[in-house]
Amino acid sequence: MSVVDSLFISGVILGLLCSILGGSTASSSFLKHPYYGISPQDEKYYKTSSDTIKCKDGSNKFTKTQLNDDFCDCLDGTDEPGTSACPNGKFYCQNTGHAPRKIFSSRVNDGICDCCDGSDEYDGKVNCPNTCWEAGKVARDKLKKKIATYQEGVTLRSREIEKAKLSLVKDEEELSKLKTEEKTLKGLVQQLKERKEQIEKAEEKERLQREKEEREKKEAEEKAHREKSESVEEDKQENNDVQEHASFEKKPDDSTPDDKVSVLEHSPEDQDMAKGNAEDDKAAEAEHVVTSDNVEEPWNEVELSAAEKIEQSVSPKSEDNSAVVPDTGHGAGSELSHEEAKKVGNDASESTEELSREELGRLVASRWTGENNEKESQEDGVKDKAHEVHEEVPDSTHDGEDDGYATDTDDDTERYDEAGKYDDHIDNDLDESYEDEDHDDTSSSYKSDTDDDLDLSETTSPSWLEKIQQTVRNLLQAVNLFQAPVDKSDADRVRKDYEESSAKLSKLQSRISSLTKKLKHDFGPEKEFYSFYGRCFESKQNKLLSLSSHACLVSLQSLPIQTSYPGRRSLFNSLGVCVYYHIFPCISDSLIFFIHQGESSCHLGTDSKSCWRYLFAPSVYIIFLLPLKRSMP
């Protein structure tokens, strides 16, 4: 006889017995006791002396006979802890030998064993063996492992804290020292600048005088040789020179262009500077092709187009400098980049007719796969960025001392680059990432913050500073302003020193700015992430990030802990999680995830349930150690 038959009959019998409350039917008759499915802490709620019990949500009340009678009277499930009648209820399994558990009422008598003691399946349709002892053992072992992991993590963390303290002190010291030097150097530069301007004024005067004389002389000559066209041409040439000279703050001597170029090459990351000095699109593109760190083509292209944009906006103002960058040397690069730019620019649909069948297939396929799309939209993104940048660029070209600005721009660009890389990885076939595991590299990190690459050893040496001070003093004394004509070599020396000093100053300031920025970051309450600044890693297990492999995944630059990261807030909200997290790559062979409680966000309307879900140990960092594939610089 089937279960429900018997239930039905029992119902009928009860009905005949004139149960006032209606038959106590269905699975309730299988219940071992009326308080089935109730946790021990909760039992006293039900074991009251009164005949009726309130639903916990206050919506209703029920009699004791209605407790676990397989009919839902309370929307919150209070009356049916031991049956599946209420959709919102919870069933308690005791699970002796393992941890007790509360499961959704929807799991009761659904034919699937959920509780290891089998107590959720009692209607006889399935037989659930008690597996609590075995399960408990597995869980205990797991917990032990977890504790060991935590302990290891705590050790790592304290090591990092120590390290951080040291580096922090060092960085702060350096910063204060740099600031002092900056002050001094600023004064010097100012002096030099003034002197230089005086010299230039004098030169200008002289030059005008000379021109006037020449003109007079020429006029005289012209009178003599009125018919000779050669002289006219010469004259023109002269005029051009005049204009050119007038537009320069100083007359470039032979060595200057080379210097500038070398500056460029030393700081390719400083895009603004590169742009400012670039002669035209071609040169800028060439520069980028040559200096770009990115190996993947699409990113070169995107960068290029971004660069182009910046270029266009900057170039009108930087024409003056056109003489500085030689045309030669980058010819090949510029050709290449033009071709690429063209490729990007092409509207796919327009060109379908010229494509081979295979290319066409790929092209159309790429719409769905989004490869192409991504490229386009990334490009858009970068263009937008570029747009932002070139709105600000003019300021920076006028005011070269605004270092903070320049650094910001760098950072933004970098962040986008990195984001771009990630996107590329999404597209990569997994196969690829698996393959990548084969060629392991040994270095575990590289410095992604190019500011750090600046060679400041010279600048930071006090002897150097003294030397420069001395030199300047000497120079200022030696140069006689009132000498006429101005001594050419003196003037050049002043100019050269000014150039050098202000270059040094800007390096110094850049270093200060990057240090200040670094120190401003939130490195955790005890600065435990300090030494991870600017370092990138990758995860070996693509499971974690599923995009994985061979590039810088995370760094402080790309995922600032401050709220400035645009996606951060919504991501947290959408996940219903209220923790600050730090994803830090790290040391040795592990990838560590530090998660710690974010005080503020926990109080911002997120419920404690989701807050605690990820916080096994609230005040302690949770550290996961996972095998890490070391990345390549």
Partner 1 sequence: MSTLNFISLFFILFLTFQTPPVLSWKKDEFRNCNQTPFCKRARSRQPAFSSLTAHQVTISDGDLTARLIPKNQTDGQIKPLILSLSIYQDGIARLKIDEDPTLNPPKKRFEVPDVVLPEFESKKLYLQRLSKESIDGDVGPSSVVYLFDSYEAVVRHDPFEVYVRRKGGNSRVLSLNSHGLFDFEQLRVKDEDEDWGERFKGHTDTRPYGPQSISFDVSFYDSDFVYGIPEHATSFALKPTRGPNVEESEPYRLFNLDVFEYIHDSPFGLYGSIPFMLSHGKSGQTSGFFWLNAAEMQIDVLGEGWNAESGILLRSKQKTIDTFWMSEAGIVDTFFFVGPSPKDVVRQYISVTGKPVMPQLFATAYHQCRWNYRDEEDVEQVDSNFDEHDIPYDVLWLDIDHTDGKRYFTWDRVLFPNPEEMQRKLAAKGRHMVTIVDPHIKRDDSYWLHKEATQKGYYVKDATEKDYDGWCWPGSSSYLDMVNPEIRSWWGDKFSYENYAGSTPSLYIWNDMNEPSVFNGPEVTMPRDALHLGSVEHRELHNAYGYYFHMATSDGLVKREHGKDRPFVLSRAFFAGSQRYGAVWTGDNTADWDQLRVSVPMILTLGLTGMTFSGADVGGFFGNPDTELLVRWYQLGAYYPFFRAHAHHDTKRREPWLFGERNTELIRAAIHVRYTLLPYFYTLFREANSTGIPVVRPLWMEFPSDETTFKNDEAFMVGNALLVQGIYTERAKHASVYLPGKESWYDMRTGTAVKGGVTHKLEVSEEYIPAFQRAGTIIPRRDRFRRSSTQMVNDPFTLVVALNSSQAAEGELYVDDGKSFEFLNGAFIHRRFSFSNGQLTSVNVVPTAGKSQFSSDCIIERIILLGYSGGLKGAMIQPANQKTEIERAPLRLQGGHSPAVVTIRKPGVRIADDWTIKFL
Contacting partner 1 within 384-423 (CB under 8 A):
419, 422-423
Establish if 545 lies at the interface with partner 1 (CB under 8 A): yes
Residue 565: CB minimum distance to partner 1, A: 9
Tell me the C-alpha to C-alpha distance, in Å, between residue 366 and each of 348, 359, 371. Answer: 11, 10, 5
Residue 97: CB minimum distance to partner 1, A: 23
Contacting partner 1 within 83-112 (CB under 8 A):
84-88, 104, 106-107, 109-112
Question: Which H or E run contains 374?
Answer: helix 371-398
CB closer to partner 1 out of 250 and 375: 375
Q: Answer for the pair 574, 624: CB distance below 8 angstroms, yes or no.
A: no
- Distance, in Å, from the CA atom of 233 to the CA atom of 283, rounded to the nearest integer, reads 31
CB closer to partner 1 out of 324 and 545: 545
Region of 46-54, 196-204, 373-381, 445-453 interacting with partner 1 (CB under 8 A): 373-381
Question: Which H or E run contains 564?
Answer: none
**Is 117 exposed, middle or buried, given 0-12, 13-18 or 19+ CB atoms closer than 10 A?**
buried
Work out which of 8, 46, 405, 612 binds partner 1, going by CB under 8 A.
8
- Distance, in Å, from the CA atom of 504 to the CA atom of 501, rounded to the nearest integer, reads 5
Residue 147: CB minimum distance to partner 1, A: 16
Establish if 304 lies at the interface with partner 1 (CB under 8 A): no
CB closer to partner 1 out of 128 and 519: 128
Residue 526: CB minimum distance to partner 1, A: 21
CA dihedral 108, 111, 116, 122 (to 10 degrees): 60
Region of 79-87, 196-204, 455-463, 489-497 interacting with partner 1 (CB under 8 A): 79-87
Cis bond upstream, residue 252 (ω within 30): no
Return the structure tokens found at 570: 């919504």
Q: Answer for the pair 500, 393: CB distance below 8 angstroms, yes or no.
A: no
Contacting partner 1 within 546-585 (CB under 8 A):
546-547, 567, 571, 573-577, 581, 583
Residue 521: CB minimum distance to partner 1, A: 19
CA diameter of the chain: 142
- Distance, in Å, from the CA atom of 40 to the CA atom of 46, rounded to the nearest integer, reads 11
Residue 547: CB minimum distance to partner 1, A: 6
CB closer to partner 1 out of 104 and 464: 104
Residue 473: CB minimum distance to partner 1, A: 54
Work out which of 51, 227, 230, 358 binds partner 1, going by CB under 8 A.
358
Region of 3-11, 35-43, 309-317, 524-532 interacting with partner 1 (CB under 8 A): 3-11
Q: At residue 596, what are phi and psi to the nearest 5 degrees?
A: -135, 160
Q: Which three-class secondary structure state does DSSP give residue 17? A: coil
> In the chain, count of helices (H) and strands (E)?
20, 8
CB closer to partner 1 out of 406 and 595: 595
Work out which of 75, 290, 519, 620 binds partner 1, going by CB under 8 A.
75
Q: Which three-class secondary structure state does DSSP give residue 622? A: strand
Region of 335-343, 470-478, 488-496, 544-552 interacting with partner 1 (CB under 8 A): 544-552
Contacting partner 1 within 476-535 (CB under 8 A):
none
Residue 364: CB minimum distance to partner 1, A: 4
Residue 109: CB minimum distance to partner 1, A: 8
Cβ-count burial 544-554 (b if 16+ within 10 Å, e if not): bbebbbbbbbb
CB closer to partner 1 out of 130 and 372: 372
Contact flags string 40-69 toward partner 1, x per CB under 8 A: -------------------x---------x
Q: Answer for the pair 535, 582: CB distance below 8 angstroms, yes or no.
A: no
Pairing mode of beta strands 590-597, 579-585? antiparallel
Q: Which three-class secondary structure state does DSSP give residue 27? A: helix
CB closer to partner 1 out of 32 and 543: 543
**CB proximity list for 357: less than 8 A, separation 6 or greater:** none
- Distance, in Å, from the CA atom of 334 to the CA atom of 69, rounded to the nearest integer, reads 82
Return the structure tokens found at 290: 């040559």
CB closer to partner 1 out of 332 and 430: 430
Q: Answer for the pair 86, 77: CB distance below 8 angstroms, yes or no.
A: yes
Work out which of 158, 373, 588, 600 binds partner 1, going by CB under 8 A.
373
Work out which of 37, 68, 73, 311 binds partner 1, going by CB under 8 A.
73
- Distance, in Å, from the CA atom of 88 to the CA atom of 102, rounded to the nearest integer, reads 12
Residue 557: CB minimum distance to partner 1, A: 14
Establish if 364 lies at the interface with partner 1 (CB under 8 A): yes
Residue 34: CB minimum distance to partner 1, A: 17
- Distance, in Å, from the CA atom of 521 to the CA atom of 543, rounded to the nearest integer, reads 29
Q: Which three-class secondary structure state does DSSP give residue 404? A: helix
Tell me the C-alpha to C-alpha distance, in Å, between residue 624 and each of 151, 171, 551. Answer: 11, 29, 21
CB closer to partner 1 out of 347 and 455: 347
Residue 125: CB minimum distance to partner 1, A: 7
Work out which of 245, 362, 493, 496 binds partner 1, going by CB under 8 A.
362
Contacting partner 1 within 424-453 (CB under 8 A):
425-426, 430-431, 434
Q: Answer for the pair 454, 270: CB distance below 8 angstroms, yes or no.
A: no
CB closer to partner 1 out of 344 and 583: 583
CB closer to partner 1 out of 84 and 501: 84
- Distance, in Å, from the CA atom of 420 to the CA atom of 129, rounded to the nearest integer, reads 53
CB closer to partner 1 out of 109 and 300: 109
CB closer to partner 1 out of 373 and 480: 373
Question: Which H or E run contains 93?
Answer: strand 90-93
Residue that is written with structure tokens 């006429």 in the block: 484
Region of 70-78, 128-136, 283-291, 391-399 interacting with partner 1 (CB under 8 A): 70-78
DSSP H helical ranges for 48-131 = none
Work out which of 498, 532, 584, 593 binds partner 1, going by CB under 8 A.
593
Tell whether the torsion through CA atoms of 75, 76, 80 and 84 is positive or negative.
Answer: positive
Size of the site for partner 1 (CB under 8 A): 92
CA dihedral 229, 232, 237, 243 (to 10 degrees): -160
CB closer to partner 1 out of 26 and 324: 26
Contacting partner 1 within 20-39 (CB under 8 A):
20-23, 25-26
CB closer to partner 1 out of 4 and 169: 4
CB closer to partner 1 out of 255 and 608: 608
Contacting partner 1 within 121-140 (CB under 8 A):
125
